[in-house]
Amino acid sequence: MSAIPSLTYAEIKALQPCGDSLKRVAKLFGGARKWNGRKVSASEARSAGATFDDIVWAASALARNDKDVERRLRLWMADCAARVLHIYERTGDSDAPRKAIVAARRFARGEIDDAKNAFGAAGAAAGDAWTVAVTARDAWADAWAAAWAAAWAAAWAAAGDAGAASRAAAWTVRNAAGDAEEQWQFARLIDRLEGEPEDWPLPEPRK
């Protein structure tokens, strides 16, 4: 098993976070001097009061130069999509989000290296999200959640500037999933960063 990602104050500062955010988080650990030299894991940061956004940001910044953290984030995003995919598939008539989840997981594990096809699946998933949002307004939040998470996961597999754009778009609709879903995502992120849980299961394919 890989080592649990953890950071000292100096290491998190080197990732160039927002100054105010760094000060706020440092206070959770008694200030920069007390934190300096001590490794802090994601679960410790959460227990101390770091927010979901704090830990997502730190993990994403760390992933730029840490392949294992990048792999863990890809698998986490695929889990987020898999969790709500059944709601999308109630009304959506495309299997692009399902394929994007599968491709993202395989890419994360080094089973495929076809980034072009992975990003193509992401684009298709994003298009399906719009169709579902227009035709099934009562399922707006969950349909969007399924589609953006699938697209974001595949976009991470594709990487590059296009992937960054897809991730940025995903953040604009993340809150639609609601507080309960965010708490699940937060807990699942910790599980992924600090362990090797089984993939969140995909729903049974439609007949």
> Whole-prediction pTM value?
0.73
Q: What would the two tokens of residue 171 be?
A: 């953040």
Burial of 117 (0-12, 13-18, 19+ CB in 10 A): middle
CB 124 within 8 A of CB 155: no
Least confident of 18-22, 98-102, 123-127, 134-138: 134-138
pLDDT at 158: 47
pLDDT at 125: 45
Other beta carbons within 10 Å of 179: 8
- What ranges do the domains of the chain cover? 6-63, 67-194
Could you tell me what percent of the chain has a pLDDT over 90? 33
Give the pLDDT band of residue 80 (cuts 50, 70, 90).
Answer: confident
Within 8 A by CB and 6+ apart from 30, the residues are: none
